[in-house]
A and B are shown apart, each in its own frame.
Chain A
Amino acid sequence: MAEVEFKGKKFVVDEDGFLEDFNTYTEEWVEFCMKEEGIDTLTEEHWNVINILQDYYKKNGIAPMVRVLSKLTGFKLKHIYELFPSGPGKGACKMAGLPKPTGCV
């Protein structure tokens, strides 16, 4: 486990740069991840996706399926990739502080 520091906040992350603990998420975390995830400026649409992922995770204890994320945000998958070049899993979920996707990836 590595610890990274950004704007006075400390985050514990794994090798893939995912937060170890969802509760340690702060808005600085998103700013910290931006560059690594290929994002120049954060728009309202980015925050929209991040907030929806967090709400869903808090309510259901899992990340939404891609199809559900599209429905909730109103963004097609193509647009989600425009916002988050590494995609909804490695990009958006990581920035929202959700646990690392698992399974046969």
Chain B
Amino acid sequence: MAKHETPLLDQLESGPWPSFVSDMKLEAEVRAKNEAGIEFQIPVDVVDDLMGVLELSYVHGRTHWKHGGIVGVFGYGGGVIGRYCDQPEMFPGVAHFHTVRVAQPAGKYYKADYLRQLMDIWQMRGSGMTNMHGSTGDIIFLGTRTEQLEEIFYELTHNLNTDLGGSGSNLRTPADCIGSSRCEFSCYDTNALCHFLTNLYQDELHRPAFPYKFKFKFDGCPNGCVASIARSDMSFIGTWKDDIRIDQEAVQAYIGGEIAPNGGAFKGRDWGAFDIQKEVIDLCPTECMWMEGKELKIDNKECNRCMHCINAMPRALRVGQDTGLSILVGAKAPILDGQQMGSLLAPFVEVNPEDDYAAVTEVIESIWDWWMEEGKNRERLGELIRRAGFQKMLEVTGIKADARHVSEPRCNPYIFWKEDEVPGGWERDVKEYRKHHKR
């Protein structure tokens, strides 16, 4: 017998998509039966009460969580999102319902054994409910009480060698696409770089020292499978400098219909026979491709590495061999001054694990030095760039301005000059001027 009636939620058990309501009911039942004999450290009926309060919110059309919440573990300034129900008498199981962010492995590859151990901790000390994963990347433990936080942290660190993720005005948990682990488009090992920088900047992640939050994300190529350009203050996107590698025989196999275009991604509908002219050459944004007899040609110096031709014919075309990454900065959601995507800061940066990615960390740290000093309270990097100017950011990172920094030059003439760039400087005497121009 369910603890609360949930007629509205029950409707979400029909239909083909996996139902979160059915899953919650299953977990509520597992806890109620407790066949494994677990010594639950928070109320057994936490899941029932969560469904109860959710049903109430469906009825009211309003949330029933109180504002904010400040809880955590000693030594860290973040990692746990405190939360309290505003109807604790009605739903005592979720009077405390804190979320714990747990650091996930790069690329989110797991072994069953590891996940089992995680769940052993969480079944006993939490609600048993999770979010796999939060948008930023963390494993999310959804719902526990304050007294359990240090216990969970102790077991995570001592038994599972696993740390918390980030929250607050700090470096949040970095995340990456699967990169070269399973993708032939990857221009650098995103897993390795993501892991390395997460370890290098643990202090910045666990103890908020920034004006506001700051996120890293790592895409192996411009396809953007982790959406770094839209979801990270500093976005690292793989690219290459040399020529696209062409296998002319494979090109012919695509033309002859032996290989399906786009890895067969459009097989669900009849789009007609593959037409390399129509589907690749005519769609190249820079019009830098053509057929010369049976040979596909690319004028690589005009190619902007958009990935289209490679995506269309992955067995014939490959990214170049002289690879690295671009760094884009400033992406953020609308609050306060409007949404932004990353703007190109460093067109090509070397990715070298041998020297601990010195070229990458240099850009990161010069950006931090500047933003930590100049950023206003709760001002994202993207907003500081708007306020202080892109030029200022180029100065602090020591990157020389070039045409790739803009999609178009400015059209207003409000141009600032530095005093030392102007012969004679700014100190002028009006009397001197009056000698030549009468009032």
Show the binding face of A for B, using Cβ within 8 Å: 15-16, 18, 38, 62, 65-67, 77-78, 81, 85-90, 94, 100-105
Contacts and interface: CB of A to CB of B under 8 A. Distances in A.
Q: Which 5 A-B pairs have the closest CB atoms?
A: A87-B77, A85-B74, A16-B70, A105-B168, A38-B74
A67 B368 CA distance: 13
Given A81-B207, A105-B81, A105-B167, A87 B72 contact: yes
B68 A86 contact: no
Interface in B169-214: 169, 203, 207-211, 213
B165 to A, nearest CB: 13
5 contacts: A77-B207, A81-B75, A85-B74, A88-B77, A89-B70
A101 B168 CA distance: 10
Contacts of A102: 67-68
B378 interface: yes
Interface string B69-109: 11111111110011010000000000010000000000000
Interface of B is mostly: loop
B80 to A, nearest CB: 9
Given A67-B209, A67-B211, A89-B208, A16 B69 contact: yes
A77 B169 CA distance: 13
Interface centre among A65, A100, A103 (most CB of B within 10 A): A65
Contacts of B71: 16, 90
B121 interface: no
A38 B377 CA distance: 28
B79 to A, nearest CB: 10
A87 B68 contact: no
A88 B77 CA distance: 8
A70 to B, nearest CB: 8
Nearest to B203: A78
B70 A101 contact: yes
Nearest to A90: B70
Nearest to B76: A87
Contacts of B78: 105
Contacts of B74: 38, 85-86
A86 B72 contact: yes
Q: Interface size bucket, B side?
A: 20 to 34
B153 to A, nearest CB: 12
B70 A105 contact: yes
A101 to B, nearest CB: 6
A79 to B, nearest CB: 11
Interface of A is mostly: loop
Contacts of A65: 211, 377
Contacts of B363: none
Contacts of B69: 15-16, 105
A94 B77 CA distance: 13
A62 B376 CA distance: 14
A66 B208 contact: yes
B70 A100 contact: yes
Given A81-B207, A86-B72, 19 more contacts: A16-B69, A16-B70, A66-B169, A66-B208, A66-B210, A67-B372, A67-B373, A77-B209, A78-B207, A86-B73, A86-B77, A87-B77, A90-B77, A102-B67, A102-B68, A103-B378, A104-B167, A105-B78, A105-B167
Nearest to B88: A15
Nearest to A93: B70
Nearest to B213: A104
Nearest to B169: A66
A1 B84 CA distance: 12
A94 B72 CA distance: 13
A18 B78 CA distance: 17
Contacts of B84: 15
A38 B72 CA distance: 12
Contacts of B167: 104-105
A101 B82 CA distance: 12
Interface centre among A15, A16, A85, A94 (most CB of B within 10 A): A15
Nearest to A85: B74
Contacts of B76: 87
